[in-house]
């Protein structure tokens, strides 16, 4: 369903590969495609942690590791924005709550019944 845009793995696939350079190259392609059609802000990367397997948004994350998510989130953001923000940048809006994601019973926090954040291990 990507239409004219190139197709890539979900973010979770990049998390499994854990290759910051590949992730940055992917974001650079996204940047070029977005600029070509006039998109200047990306509502990604999603840097939530996928520690709740029932959570429907897990595929949009880099996985459950904060370390991997940190590395790949930085690489992706640099790929979108470049080393300096400028005319050839696409601004990245990291979401949702950095390091968040796990919800009580795997619910989605976009709905009133899923607003309880759960942080396993006392985090």
The reply to whether 20 falls in a domain is yes
The reply to whether 58 falls in a domain is yes
Q: Tell me: the pLDDT tens digits for 67-117?
A: 999 999 999 999 999 999 999 999 999 987 666 666 778 787 777 877 777
Domain count within the chain: 1
- Give residue 91's pLDDT: 96
Instruction: Please state the rounded mean pLDDT for residues 12-26.
Output: 97
The reply to whether 112 falls in a domain is yes
Instruction: Please state the rounded mean pLDDT for residues 42-60.
Output: 88
12: phi then psi, degrees, rounded to nearest 5: -60, -35
What is the residue whose two structure tokens read 């899923």? Answer: 114
The reply to whether 18 falls in a domain is yes
Question: Distances in Å between the alpha carbon of 60 and those of 32, 55, 67, 121?
Answer: 21, 11, 16, 23
Average pLDDT in the chain: 88
Structural domain range at position 112: 11-122
- Give residue 11's pLDDT: 96
Give the H/E segment covering residue 75: helix 66-81
């Amino acid at each position: 369903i990507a239409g004219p845009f190139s197709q890539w793995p979900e973010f979770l696939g990049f998390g499994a590969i854990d290759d910051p350079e590949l992730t940055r190259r992917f974001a650079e392609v996204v940047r070029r495609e977005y600029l070509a059609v006039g998109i200047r802000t990306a509502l990604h990367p999603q840097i939530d942690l996928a520690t709740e397997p029932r959570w429907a948004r897990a595929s949009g994350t880099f996985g459950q590791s904060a370390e991997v998510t940190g590395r790949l989130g930085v690489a992706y953001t640099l790929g979108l924005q470049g080393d300096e923000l400028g005319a050839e940048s696409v601004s990245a809006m990291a979401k949702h709550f950095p390091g968040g994601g796990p919800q009580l019973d795997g619910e989605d926090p976009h709905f009133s019944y899923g607003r309880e954040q759960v942080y396993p291990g006392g985090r």
